Structure 1
Amino acid sequence: MQYRNLGRTGVKVSPLCLGTMMFGGPTDETESTRIIHKAIDHGINFIDTADMYAGGKSEEIVGRAIADRRDNVVLATKGRQKMGDGPNDQGGSRMYLMRALDRSLKRLNLDYVDIYYYHAPHEDTPIDETLRAMDDMVRSGRVRYIAVSNFRAWRVCEALWTSDRLGLDRFVCVQPLYNIVNRDIEVELLPLCEAYEL
């Protein structure tokens, strides 16, 4: 397996990342664990999950599956999406994201994650509040790197500029929607990622 740098960090990740959105839903724990172990055995060291995947079950399964292989895995999870019925059970506020991270770590049965993604924009929260919270996550040691998912190029650029202006940790990678039908990222987001080493 040939590995690549994660953005402009020194962390090496496999070019393929194992996504776990279906784990705990259509894919039961036994099969999910088999898939995870097989991927690791074949050199895939990058695993992605999220708090909202199967209502948190994906994180629980991933945590158990990698428990004895933690040092061989670059683990990413995400926070921001709706995880309850209350008005503050989603979003990009410091209050919500800190709680979301705590709950993810509990489900994963870990003290830290390697990458914590801000899962999508939240119109009601200024990006500087979100970035300050994520910077504090890194400084606390509970997150190694921060990243972003489902952002348009201008929002990624705004976040990078805000991080630089305020002296905060910056996003190291981007996870966009990309498939054979939806190739919008080729126009602006991919060139931005190349220019900013994401």
Structure 2
Amino acid sequence: MARLGIRQFSQTKADVARSDTPAGESSESAAANPGMAVAGTASTASSETVSIDTAPTGSIDTTRGAARFRTIGASDLRVYPIAMSGNVFGWTGDDATTNRILDAYAAHGGNFIDTADSYAAGRSETMIGNWMKSRRNRSSMIVATKVGKNAENPGLRARVLTRAVNASLDRLGVQHIDLLYLHIDDTEVDFEETLLAVDELIRAGKVRFFGGSDHTGNRLIEARIASAMVGVAPMVALQNHYNLMHRSEYEGDLALVAAQQRLGVMPRFALASGFLTGKYRQKSDLSTNRRGAEVARYLSRRGLRILSTLDSVAKAHDSSVASVALAWLLVKPNVVAPVVSASRPEQVDDFAAATRLQLSRQQVSELDRMSS
């Protein structure tokens, strides 16, 4: 299939409009996405606050806390605005710690768990599945997992993808995956083959919705056109690296395509491997971080300048640095739920606090400026 540039997408948009609009909705009404309600608010400095509670009025579940759930793209998946990552489960987190972290997350009203078949060679999925089974809460959880990187099922060829999903279902102990991500952009496989395989899984009731991870803007356009050509459901979500320390990858072409395709965006590495918690401010601090090499690159003038700004905003709100960093993401266009991981259950409190934190426009603008 011919590759198209970002700007060329507008010329093909009309051709795929039917595939973008859910049945029974006009293209105008379908474009109303709670996760996008604050688009563009970050650029104007004023003393007004920017609320991250973007779900429609009346959608607050008071039994689950103050945070309003958000809808992922054009799907019917309504999720807590922070996704709990399972990337440390089975690696640095044992069964008991994992259960305590997930219990703390659920106690705050969290319902969105993100994992992958490659995390701890699949053990993360097993641990999450065991937790849901023991708590009998599968029906209240939205489970996202990714396929494509597992050593036993690498890549996105149809037979491999199908085998990977079936293995994930077994490990999770569930009948369906709510949100399936293509964990890689497998350029050796035609999108048509991958999309048809996903569509079969959706028709079989094994997958509800799917999205991309680590895809460029151009590749997302190719995938959308391919889905329209073969008559299958398009992606509804995007998970990519995005935080105050790492902005340019998403805020360029990807942000434009996410808006055009109405993709719900789940930023991963939302706290920059822990740097945006404020815990690491000098090289001697890195000895406590298993990802010290990753964090070390942020110990620069820019990184310390960003931490200083976060400190100031956190002090003004009597909040934590981590909460402010997540709240900044939550006011960005199309962002639905940053993906965060915890090594201790008490860290979940800071994540939950971010969902209630209202930054002023001036504070958002200052964070934008310092991190640009």
Structure 1, residues 31-51: CA drift from partner, whole Å, max 9, x if none? 111111211121111110100
Unaligned residue ranges in structure 1 (runs of 5+) = none
The structure where strand makes up a greater share of residues is: 1
Q: Deviations over 1:141-176 (max 9, x none)?
A: 001111111111111111111111211011110001
Aligned partner of 1:175 among 203, 222, 239: 239
**How many residues were matched structurally?**
194
- 2:110 alignment partner AA: I
Give the residue type in structure 2 aligned to 1:71.
S
Q: Write the letter of the residue equivalent to 1:192.
A: V
Match of residue 78 from structure 1: 146
Matched, 1:104 2:151: no
Q: Which runs of 4+ in 1 moved over 4 A?
A: none
Whole-angstrom CA distance in 1 between matches of 2:257 and 2:81:
19
> What residue number does 2:108 align with?
42
Distance in 1 between the 2:208 and 2:86 partners? 20
| Distance in 2 (alpha carbons) for counterparts of 1:4 and 1:188 | 24
User: Helix, strand or coil: the match of 1:37?
Assistant: helix
Find 2:195's aligned residue among 107, 111, 131.
Answer: 131
In 1, Cα distance between the equivalents of 2:229 and 2:79? 29
Mapped to 1, the partners of 2:83 and 2:258 lie a distance apart of 18
Residue 66 (structure 1) aligned with residue 159 (structure 2) = no
Q: Percent identity?
A: 32
Counterpart Cα distance in 2 of 1:179 and 1:53:
21
SS of 2:76's equivalent? coil
Which residue number in structure 1 is paired with residue 305 of structure 2?
Answer: none
Q: SS of 1:146's equivalent?
A: strand
Computed over aligned residues only, the root mean square deviation of the Cα atoms, in angstroms, reads 1.1
In 2, distance between residues paired with 1:181 and 1:134?
34
SS at match of 1:171: coil
CA distance in 2, matches of 1:9, 1:121: 22
1:55 equivalent in structure 2: 121
The one of 192, 195, 198 equivalent to 2:260 is 195
Q: Partner of 1:179: helix, strand, or coil?
A: coil
Using the size of structure 1 for normalisation, the TM-score is 0.94
1:77-114 superposed Cα distances (whole Å, 9 cap, x missing partner): 11111423xxxx31110010011011111111111110
Aligned AA (1:164): A
Is the partner of 2:144 in helix, strand or coil? strand
- Name the SS of the counterpart of 2:139 in structure 1: helix
- Aligned AA for 1:81? K
Once the 2 structures are TM-superposed, how far is the Cα of residue 180 of structure 1 from its aligned partner?
3.1
For 1:10 and 1:56, locate their aligned partners in 2 and report how far apart those are by CA, in whole Å: 27
- 2:88 pairs with 1:22: yes
Partner of 1:165: 229
TM-superposed CA distance for 1:11, in Å, is 2.0
Q: Which of the pair is proportionally richer in helix?
A: 2
Deviation at 1:64, TM superposition (A): 0.9
Give the letter for the 2:118 counterpart: M
- How much does 1:9 deviate? 1.8
Output the CA distance in 1 between the equivalents of 2:77 and 2:117.
23
Higher relative contact order (CA 8 A, sep 6+): 2
Q: 1:122 corresponds to which residue? A: 186
SS at structure 1 position matched to 2:228? helix
Amino acid at match of 2:217: A
* Distance in 1 separating the partners of 2:81 and 2:106: 13
Alignment-derived partner of residue 70 in structure 2: 4
TM-score (norm 2): 0.51
